[in-house]
Amino acid sequence: MKKAYINASSIRSICGDTKQTLDAVFNKKSFLATFSDIVPNKTICIGRFPDKSTFEELLYSCVNEVLDGSNLQDFSNTLLLVGSSVGGMAETEKILFNENSYENINIQRHTINVIASTLDKKYNFLSTRSFSTACTSSANALKVAKELINVGAYKNILVIGADEICSTTIFGFSALGILSDEICTPFQSNRKGMNVSEGIGALLLQNKFEKESVELIGAGASSDAYHIANPDPTALGAISAINKALHDAALDSNQIDYINAHGTGTQANDTTEAKAIQTIFGEKIYVSSSKSNVGHTLGAAGAIEAAICVEALKKQLLPPQIYCDDNENSLNYVDIVKEAKIEYALSNSFAFGGNNTSLIFGVCHEN
């Protein structure tokens, strides 16, 4: 069986480019902002890209960074897998709101596949596929990429997680009553909810080991189908996904050194995820959520947080959580950036409909 190595990655977030985003994550900086002119009679805290570039330009720069940092000359022998929650919905909204009409909306620019097709036109990929499973979209794309490389189906797979913020998502989460008016405080007893945001993450998976490779060693998924918006409070779905990832990686729970939690800051998600972590790992394992830094980037979250785990493994640094002073439970939150021996890191992604995905990344010892 071939191994799936991550040999290049990049991020575009509300914090900036890859370097700026990682600096924010490892130094407890947040670029989330409050707005009182979006949802009537409500103040919300969300994440928006700086107005310097369009979403398409940021997408191209993210892909270019991966290509420049890789051993590839082009993507002609590379499969593209894109995970997104809203696809081209933001573009549709702009036309609708600007013209107060749907007549000039191009349905081909609305679909989930529009991101993959846009990239394919510019880079000429071997083939493309798109995933839309809400907040697990790019995590599931990474899982499939690993499996395809493991069986030798492809040598190179570029995984993109990308979501642009739009009114439909903002008003949808507002209607559910889970948007916070402050920077989110995952797992804390005073938490008010989540911060919807936008972002792009890109990771190149290959069957070839390189000097700074990080292996995607395990992946597990489950669907508890408990409720359309809330996770199963027994945490059985989350527990199943994590255990499947451990089994896939041939690891015991005590071998995981760090968990990048889904950690949205909502009451239902945090309670369920904490229960799953405590059931499998106990209370000593290091845990943190990056969503206070970059917000909840929906379908892009799995890819962005995977890139954060890759950096943690390369630098042997634990990324801290911005707020962890009012813990509702006894999880071992990373309060400041710490040097630590990290062999394996777990990243959780949980979505509406009970869709759960867990990924395990490991340090490579080959030469």
Q: Which domains, from first to last, does the chain contain?
A: 5-363 (3.40.47.10)
CA atoms lying within 13 Å on the CB side of residue 227? 9
Note the pLDDT tens digit of each residue in 184-210: 999 999 999 999 999 999 999 999 999
Enumerate the β-bridge partners of residue 357. Answer: 221, 349
Residue 366 has pLDDT above 70, yes or no: no
Note the pLDDT tens digit of each residue in 114-168: 999 999 999 999 999 999 999 999 999 999 999 999 999 999 999 999 999 999 9
110 included as an active-site residue: no
Catalytic residue among 135, 166, 184, 309: 135
- At residue 106, the pLDDT reads 73
The secondary structure of the chain in percent helix, strand, coil, rounded to multiples of 5, reads: 35, 25, 40
- At residue 330, the pLDDT reads 80
Catalytic residue among 184, 296, 309, 324: 296
296 included as an active-site residue: yes
Shortest CA distance to 296 belongs to which of 8, 81, 114, 85? 85
Residue 317 has pLDDT above 70, yes or no: yes
Residue 105 has pLDDT above 90, yes or no: no
- For residue 28, give both structure tokens: 């407890």
Q: Taking the CA atoms of 276, 277, 280 and 283 in sequence, report the sign of the dihedral they define.
A: negative
Contact of 326 with 210, CB cutoff 8 Å: no
Catalytic residue among 45, 166, 262, 309: 262
Contact of 334 with 318, CB cutoff 8 Å: yes
pLDDT band at 328 (very low <50, low <70, confident <90, very high): confident
